[in-house]
Amino acid sequence: MRCCRLLCTQFVIASLLPALGGCDTTKYTNVNHANYGDAEYKNDLAQCRQQNTKIVEVAGYDTKTEAHVDEARAQACMTDRGWQPASK
């Protein structure tokens, strides 16, 4: 019985690996500037995330500050700058 369970587990893992390996990050292009590449994308993303970051002080045993990014607003900022998911 244990051998059968081990074989089933191995089969499930073997069949999931190709599916998980197929996960890829979305590529973006700038519709306003066709010559922009990955460096410009990362720069704009950093700026949009910084503009939409809120510093929060968390009180407790030891007070600390944390940065919280409003991801929806950061994504809206990227869209305003012309970044769209690239069609495959």
- The domain segmentation of the chain, as residue ranges, is 24-85
Place of tokens 């993303």: 45
pLDDT at 19: 55
Amino acid residing at 58: V
pLDDT at 23: 58
Q: Record the pTM.
A: 0.65
- pLDDT string in tens for the chain (88-residue length): 455 555 556 655 655 555 555 555 778 999 999 999 999 999 999 999 999 999 888 888 888 888 999 999 999 999 999 999 987 5
Backbone angles phi, psi at 60, to 5 degrees: 180, -145
Amino acid residing at 46: A
pLDDT at 40: 96
Place of tokens 């929060």: 56
Indicate the SS3 state at residue 20: helix
